[in-house]
Amino acid sequence: MSEASQSQQMAPAPTSSLRLVGTLGVIALLAGLLVVSVVEWTRPIIADNHERALQQAVFDVIPGATQRRDFVLTDDGPVPKEEAEERGPIIHAGYTEDGALAGVALEASGRGYADVIRILYGYDPSCECIVGMSVLESQETPGLGDRIETDPDFLGSIEGLDASLTEDGSGLKYGIRTVDPGEREEPGDIDGITGATVSAEAIGDMLHRSANERLPQLRGHWSELERNE
């Protein structure tokens, strides 16, 4: 037998296109199942971590709060979340150890310098004032825009910020706004941050919009939130 004939007999048969496609399909299926399994396995862990972070944020922005209960704000007022039959804004009510209302935490969002900023702020109806603010999500520039999370003068000017309503309760008595550092004149003014003007102004804008809308809706319903039974 010639060398050419031996070569032809020993050459492997070409791989079938259908077989190759089938193999790739099995690999893709297994990879997909693996991804789905990982997602389903981590989903409750992520949800639990998110809940823990939210709980801590509520306690951070409502001084004295050690308990929390969530309500859905409807046209008829706040309804416990577990009893609500309709969707609406979520109100996080914070209570002291003995069950007395310490305040409520509300979410707000707005466009910052780099992207959307999400915050949680606390409101105490006894002083009609904002008592704390925490950034939930931000992509602001490190070292500049992200100072909205750490600057003591900026954060300090938000604590105790006047958020009282007009006599008819239709909106805020004083507009909330961010001004230049040291230029606060009105009860609703917030000290700005040099070098982070856009981010700081965004916080003032979203606090004003949110409080001006939500607080009138809560007016007359505070008794429904007073005790954590």
Domain count, the chain: 1
35 in any annotated domain = no
**Does residue 6 sit within a domain?**
no
Nearest of 171, 163, 168 to residue 204 by alpha carbon: 163
pLDDT mean over 145-149: 92
1 inside domain: no
pLDDT tens digits, 40-74: 766 667 677 788 888 999 999 999 999 999 999 99
* Overall pTM surpassing 0.75 (yes/no): yes
pLDDT per residue as tens digits for the range 163-209: 999 999 999 999 999 999 989 999 999 999 998 999 999 999 999 99
Classify each residue of 136-163 as buried b or exposed e, where b means 16 or more C-beta atoms within 10 Å of its C-beta: eebebbeebbbbbbebeebbebbeebbb
Q: Domain for residue 18, yes or no? A: no
Alpha carbon separation from 52 to 2, 47, 48, 161, 198 (Å, rounded):
78, 9, 6, 27, 30
Q: What is the DSSP letter of 12?
A: P
Position 122 in a domain: yes
The pLDDT tens digits for 59-117 are 999 999 999 999 999 988 999 999 988 889 999 999 999 999 999 999 999 999 989 99
Output the pLDDT for position 227: 73
User: Does residue 170 fall inside a structural domain?
Assistant: yes
Residue 2 has pLDDT above 60, yes or no: no
- Structure tokens, 163: 């958020």
Radius of gyration (C-alpha) of the chain in whole angstroms: 28
Confirm whether 115 is domain-assigned. Answer: yes
CA torsion sign for 213, 219, 222, 224 is negative
Q: Per the domain annotation, does 27 fall within a domain? A: no
- How confident is the model at residue 26, as a pLDDT? 84
Domain containing 162: what range? Answer: 48-224
Give per-residue pLDDT as tens, 7-42. Answer: 555 555 555 777 887 788 888 888 887 787 777 766
- For residue 208, what pLDDT is reported? 98
CA nearest neighbour of 92 among 84, 101, 83, 39: 101
Question: First and final CA of the chain: distance in angstroms?
Answer: 97
